[in-house]
Structure 1
């Protein structure tokens, strides 16, 4: 019963306390014939608790350590120390072993005034042997090194640097304990070194031997307390101590005067310190201790349990009085009953209970493997979200580890059932999308960013500004055409970056492009703008505006609004929905809006004397399409008679166009929809047409320029021989044609510079792209020119605001400057003085003779009609088409 250790929060009713209990010094007073009890008990303990520390000692064991101050105590130390009890063995007795070691040390005389021989003794005893090795190195270094060390210590003392003077690496815990424990009055010593000197053999004779012995006993018990301490810092559990479910039985057989002396010291140390320890002494002797003045009467074994309870009840008062027998519990030990003799009922019951008792198993959490398993489970649970996030990022080609780097901020969002990587990046740590041409364009942009940073570092006087290109850069299989159109826009930025980011160009500004992705069809544009781009602008004053914005959808509109609320200029390069300027006072639009596109359609219909115009739109809710259809109906000479069909619903009728034999060449089928449905629209329209001469004239909106830019979309066999016209927003660039692709154009200086850069880019494409990803059109894409002009516009503004170089101008100054001056661009003049919507720019109907085959000079679009508005709300006038290159 006594060897069982209570649980951590188990309550004892007799002492009204939880956890560990004070243990008695159980003294068995043998009756004649009871000599072998402790030997039998030792064997029983070995069988019942083989892995719990327990020892049997006799006076013969103590005789082996006569050099020790307390030979029997040292014998117990030798028996308990080691690994014979498995995981519960005591491997360290730091306090006792240090004290015992010092009692046998003889100090060498001082060599110099401030020499402390005890310091060398303690350092050699320290667990960290590297300090001893350092001392050896100093000794080998000679007198100069020793003089340096002595001088350092002397100077430290002069300046009052006493902290650490008695600290020894590896003995911090022991130093604190020795200087705080009560025996030998540590405060009589100036420091730990002085106290340690008092323990050595040379100084022991000057000390109180009783105090020294109590110090050794206290140190021995302290080491056991440390091993049994179940918490660290009062609440952190210590697993190896929680595994100790039994106390440490120490069996002392044939107790002699030295044994009684040890018990007396243990009794007094426990009374005087009030600290608990796990040592359970069980002794056997024939007589009471001689020095005990009034020995207690031993209890008989059959009332031992009540005697223990009575002992606990008396203990608080007795230990307060420092009674010499406060911790003793005397029990008489009768002789063994003759074999075959029946035990009395109570004794028999006690043995039956004892035989059925087993040591308490260690707590579940402290068992081997359980804690490790729980740790693994917790780690796995903690890593589950990062692992899932990493997997999502990997699946979506989204930076995970690089996202923490400067210049990248990404997240994975589900769009149309597919995880897509959205966010922004200015370096190759994150490249959006999978299309080779699109990725190459971004890599070229990022390479130019690195070049701009390098040039700015070497020439800090050059203005360094940034633009955020914001578009949908991740797509699914239903939007292959968009990949090439976005790649065209990035290529336009690359061309302008290469013009600007060159050495030896005076004070020309340097351009950095941050590529931002709003997801497929810009479906996460609002969240990206609000959560990622706004903080980016707040942190980086060199960023002047957001450009691109790609699609007139509700998410793009919300993005424009939230950016405007934070004072950020936005410039839509291909947006055409009417009224976008109302979303933000800082919104600018490079392309004419849908009102101008509707006027262009009706003026074209009048020019070719079309007998009928049918507007075919998509049934999807799309702000761009709705705005365009509404504008076409409003601009019609007879608004109520415009036919507008959802071509999906009217597909059966649309496919019957050629069956009635009617010649429809004078009619116009105007496609007002997105590029991803245009190919299917043409297939349905010519489904039953054996010849193409009876088809109505196909005219498509500006969105179909993406279809034109995508080679695989045009080269399907169904499109062979089919001609089409579409609205072009950069006719001057497209019509520059083959001469521009060859890098030659004499019409405009701006177009000449553009064509030179475009030629180098096409040559690069020929070596780095293959198959359908390689652009083959014999003209520059209009979106290449549009973004080239946008970057040139901001570069021109920065140069005018910072003619002598210097930091990037304030965004407000840039926005104001955009309203004050026109800019001559490759695709025509950009002028926002009258309106932030560039309706004064040219808009053209471009015609392809054969969608399927655009190779060669005959494949270049021809300009059918070009218009522009003369001034704000002024008349729309027909302009001459530019010369074709």
Structure 2
């Protein structure tokens, strides 16, 4: 046979596929065709050749060795592997005795120390690869395989007649380099005597002596399993990490090892034992290619290995063990599903040996790329069905071209044996020794530096640096919103993390987190008491000062604080309530990220959390978060959201207040009751992500047209040149409806009233529900330019707002009727009102003498969850667990007969999840500049505390008087 490298049609494509397979992908490389990252599965390639291409494997080995030094490659001959294995273990017949040598001595020198290997071809591959080195690094010691091979080739002297465990232990200890004494648990008396003699010599000796004595006693009582010193890692793998020979059928590793020896091994175990040998061989290779220690720490040696192990098997047939080995590798890979770095390329003149199924496509080398893609595509299905040829990729090589005809081959085939066709990429520069030394010094310098870039960023955002105490739940990250604007988003159930910079908002957070700690202590003292939690999700942070927003969020959190105090102070049968505080960043811009990356995982870990309340404002980001919660089965409760159609975002979304469509109905009916000649809608020109304003303007126009009321439309960007005309013409019969956010309302009032000598000609000013934030903040209303301006605004919790000031100042519910919970609410609210007034600076104190509506809305939202839990627990013993499923709690909201009476009115989701039947009112403040001016109801729609409550026939506002007999029970 010629020594020249063979060339044939398609060899260029075949070599490119082989190079593509043995070049290891980078750690984080994403393969689109295989849909995996990093290491990819390797096929078992079989090449059927004739005499002209028989030298392909030899040429391939030489080219890889010369041009790809990082690729371990070994070629073995299947025809001679069995004979070489016997000669290496000195298991063959004694050699012929030369003259002058005693035949008895020669036979003794060649006596059989063990039985022949069960898989001689695999043993030959192990012997060749164990001495292989790439760039000076040894490939592997193959300790797992060697232990398995040693045991399967060992025959105990007298099986089943003496202490096999002692014999196998002594044998393994001797092989591992230890003494021959078996760890039989003896020697206790000797250890005691040695301990007594040395007790006074040294405290260290005493400590180790006591440890040794304890170990001996534990071994005698079998508290410590029998093991072999030096083989702890291997024995752990055999007993815990593999299942080819069922380890659970043995009490410990020594019993398992005995089962593998000759004479103890049952005949039906032969196939399983052979699989164990293959599995151990692949595991030894797999370990040295791992890139991480303990799944966390980087393993540099694994990162340095950029080429997979290539095993070339020549003269492969079904009779010389090659076919059996290929089938075993296929079976082990199918059964374990683990990656291993071994690329097997077998070649022979016969057709592909079993277990390749008859009729399987044998590819031409020119189709190698298509064949590989087809193999990758079908591998998942064939692997799951444990197909006997799932890993096989067979090719039939055409005859080699003779020199006279080589010019007929394509250029890629002719130049295939060039050096660059086999080159493999170098190791990552970060893993090289010189780079590591520099990086190590740099890392030490960074670690020693007191404030790294991360710490500075966290501090700038107001994120906690120190680790929270054991058991707390805090997850935060710094996020850049713009130039000089870094905010801390995430969630917190511990005072380690407080969001925002506003004094009032931070104080209320601390009080809520203190209540969480009190709830945890109560639960620890009484584990049988129900323990539930809610996540309050809002925008706690922003750039600069936005007191209206901060106070509004603080009011909602105060409502949850009041519910916590009332609930946690009840009897041991009532649920304890915990509040997790979550920040979505300014205007909830980071709500989707916080939901996806933090809150959903929190809900998965903690089944006691029943849902999310708050959600702050109707913007695109909030809507995305609602959709995510719904997809994860988490109920979401919008306390002040009024965007139209939000319930379509999630089947588990509930809304405490009516949507913008009903706010439009309220305005239209009020305009009709005033006989207004026109309603002029003022709104910002571009809303961006703020879907609240767009849906409100659209719904308002539709209802006004339906009521046949003339409409005017002025965008806020154009308002500066048009509003002053309101002074030139008498417009007192018109309504100026402000559809915008609270931060623009003060400028709007100045624009519409500035320069008007006679304010009696101005239209009636009506504002949307977002202006409740402006109304509740005394600092926003102190401007003298606002003096004497009457303003009506949409109130979402008007029944609580209309309560007497005694609720805040005296803690008594004397000014309202119909809500049974109002008395307990006012009692706690009065105490909180005084506490905040005493601890906050003058500009941060609550500015209203009556209860804020947002306090009542979140108070009632938490009450709905509690009422649902109590309702479920009353149903029977099945619902008496301390933790209830959140889906069952949400389902109870929709069941007929379930309703919750809160301080803001009747809450009923049977007819609608959007709260469309709840009350909605227009409240009027005669002088918006006067903080002490109490709101008065001028028009109302929707239900009150109970259906039978008396109402004014013209305005539908509640009036004092007894309830009718038809009141809802």
Structure 1's 704 and 135: CA in aligned 2 closer, same or farther, altered over 3 A?
same
Deviation at 1:817, TM superposition (A): 0.4
Range with greater deviation from structure 2 (802-811 or 769-778): 802-811
Structure 1's 880 and 376: CA in aligned 2 closer, same or farther, altered over 3 A?
same
Deviation at 1:507, TM superposition (A): 0.3
1:832 aligned partner: 909
Once the two structures are superposed, the pairs formed by residues 842-857 of structure 1 within 5 Å of their partners are 842-855=919-932
Asked whether 1:682 is paired with 2:749, we answer yes
* Distance in 1 of aligned mates of 2:575 and 2:455: 39
Once the two structures are superposed, the pairs formed by residues 275-286 of structure 1 within 5 Å of their partners are none
Once the two structures are superposed, the pairs formed by residues 354-369 of structure 1 within 5 Å of their partners are none
Q: Which residue among 622, 642, 648 is the counterpart of 2:717?
A: 648
1:751 aligned partner: 822
Deviation at 1:373, TM superposition (A): 7.9
Contact 1:751–1:827 at 8 Å: present in 2 too? Answer: no
Contact 1:699–1:724 at 8 Å: present in 2 too? Answer: yes
Deviation at 1:461, TM superposition (A): 1.6
The CA deviation string for residues 357-390 of structure 1, in whole angstroms up to 9 with x for no partner, is xxxxxxxxxxxxx999874434346789982221
2:648 aligned partner: 582
Deviation at 1:652, TM superposition (A): 1.3
Asked whether 1:628 is paired with 2:705, we answer no
Deviation at 1:757, TM superposition (A): 1.2
Q: Which residue among 612, 615, 620 is the counterpart of 1:554?
A: 620
What 5-or-longer segments of structure 1 have no aligned partner?
1-133, 165-232, 237-369, 872-876
The CA deviation string for residues 481-525 of structure 1, in whole angstroms up to 9 with x for no partner, is 11000000000000010001126x130110000011111111111
Asked whether 1:767 is paired with 2:838, we answer yes
Contact 1:729–1:842 at 8 Å: present in 2 too? Answer: yes
* Distance in 2 of aligned mates of 1:702 and 1:635: 17
Deviation at 1:696, TM superposition (A): 1.6
Range with greater deviation from structure 2 (689-698 or 379-388): 379-388
Q: Which residue among 428, 447, 452 is the counterpart of 1:387?
A: 452
Asked whether 1:713 is paired with 2:814, we answer no
1:563 aligned partner: 629
2:551 aligned partner: 484
2:321 aligned partner: none
Once the two structures are superposed, the pairs formed by residues 785-824 of structure 1 within 5 Å of their partners are 785-803=856-874, 806-820=881-895, 821-824=898-901
* Distance in 2 of aligned mates of 1:847 and 1:648: 26
* Distance in 2 of aligned mates of 1:137 and 1:583: 76
Q: Which residue among 497, 503, 507 is the counterpart of 1:436?
A: 503
Asked whether 1:863 is paired with 2:948, we answer no
* Distance in 2 of aligned mates of 1:627 and 1:587: 18
The CA deviation string for residues 611-643 of structure 1, in whole angstroms up to 9 with x for no partner, is 221000012222100100000110014669421
Contact 1:475–1:483 at 8 Å: present in 2 too? Answer: no
Deviation at 1:778, TM superposition (A): 1.4
TM-score (norm: length of structure 2): 0.52
The CA deviation string for residues 279-335 of structure 1, in whole angstroms up to 9 with x for no partner, is xxxxxxxxxxxxxxxxxxxxxxxxxxxxxxxxxxxxxxxxxxxxxxxxxxxxxxxxx
Once the two structures are superposed, the pairs formed by residues 35-434 of structure 1 within 5 Å of their partners are 138=199, 375-380=440-445, 387-402=452-467, 406-417=472-483, 418-434=485-501
Contact 2:906–2:943 at 8 Å: present in 1 too? Answer: no
Q: Highest CA radius of gyration, 1 or 2? A: 1
The CA deviation string for residues 20-51 of structure 1, in whole angstroms up to 9 with x for no partner, is xxxxxxxxxxxxxxxxxxxxxxxxxxxxxxxx
Q: Which residue among 876, 880, 883 is the counterpart of 2:956?
A: 880
Contact 2:677–2:710 at 8 Å: present in 1 too? Answer: no
2:259 aligned partner: none
Structure 1's 611 and 155: CA in aligned 2 closer, same or farther, altered over 3 A?
closer
1:301 aligned partner: none
Deviation at 1:765, TM superposition (A): 0.8
Structure 1's 386 and 670: CA in aligned 2 closer, same or farther, altered over 3 A?
same
Secondary structure (helix, strand or coil) at the match of 1:812 reads helix
* Distance in 2 of aligned mates of 1:374 and 1:612: 73
Secondary structure (helix, strand or coil) at the match of 2:901 reads coil
Structure 1's 235 and 481: CA in aligned 2 closer, same or farther, altered over 3 A?
closer
* Distance in 2 of aligned mates of 1:785 and 1:235: 62
Structure 1's 592 and 379: CA in aligned 2 closer, same or farther, altered over 3 A?
same
Secondary structure (helix, strand or coil) at the match of 1:427 reads coil
2:669 aligned partner: 603
Deviation at 1:751, TM superposition (A): 1.5
Q: Which residue among 531, 537, 544 is the counterpart of 2:610?
A: 544
Structure 1's 163 and 568: CA in aligned 2 closer, same or farther, altered over 3 A?
closer
1:174 aligned partner: none
Contact 1:672–1:700 at 8 Å: present in 2 too? Answer: yes
Deviation at 1:787, TM superposition (A): 0.5
The CA deviation string for residues 7-30 of structure 1, in whole angstroms up to 9 with x for no partner, is xxxxxxxxxxxxxxxxxxxxxxxx
Deviation at 1:400, TM superposition (A): 2.8
TM-score (norm: length of structure 1): 0.57
Deviation at 1:694, TM superposition (A): 2.6
* Distance in 2 of aligned mates of 1:751 and 1:379: 61
Contact 2:532–2:609 at 8 Å: present in 1 too? Answer: yes
* Distance in 1 of aligned mates of 2:636 and 2:909: 13
Structure 1's 135 and 650: CA in aligned 2 closer, same or farther, altered over 3 A?
same
* Distance in 2 of aligned mates of 1:154 and 1:435: 60
Structure 1's 139 and 789: CA in aligned 2 closer, same or farther, altered over 3 A?
closer
Structure 1's 522 and 702: CA in aligned 2 closer, same or farther, altered over 3 A?
same
CA RMSD of aligned residues (A): 3.8
The CA deviation string for residues 574-623 of structure 1, in whole angstroms up to 9 with x for no partner, is 11111111111111111000110001001111122222210000122221
Structure 1's 685 and 235: CA in aligned 2 closer, same or farther, altered over 3 A?
closer
2:519 aligned partner: 452
Contact 1:822–1:832 at 8 Å: present in 2 too? Answer: yes
Structure 1's 811 and 725: CA in aligned 2 closer, same or farther, altered over 3 A?
same
1:171 aligned partner: none
Asked whether 1:496 is paired with 2:563, we answer yes
Deviation at 1:154, TM superposition (A): 15
Contact 1:735–1:883 at 8 Å: present in 2 too? Answer: no
What 5-or-longer segments of structure 2 have no aligned partner?
1-194, 221-225, 230-298, 303-434, 947-952, 962-969
Structure 1's 685 and 808: CA in aligned 2 closer, same or farther, altered over 3 A?
same
* Distance in 2 of aligned mates of 1:597 and 1:387: 51
* Distance in 1 of aligned mates of 2:644 and 2:715: 21
Secondary structure (helix, strand or coil) at the match of 1:749 reads coil
* Distance in 2 of aligned mates of 1:234 and 1:489: 52
* Distance in 1 of aligned mates of 2:834 and 2:300: 73
Deviation at 1:480, TM superposition (A): 2.4
Structure 1's 651 and 800: CA in aligned 2 closer, same or farther, altered over 3 A?
same
Structure 1's 481 and 372: CA in aligned 2 closer, same or farther, altered over 3 A?
same
Deviation at 1:477, TM superposition (A): 3.0
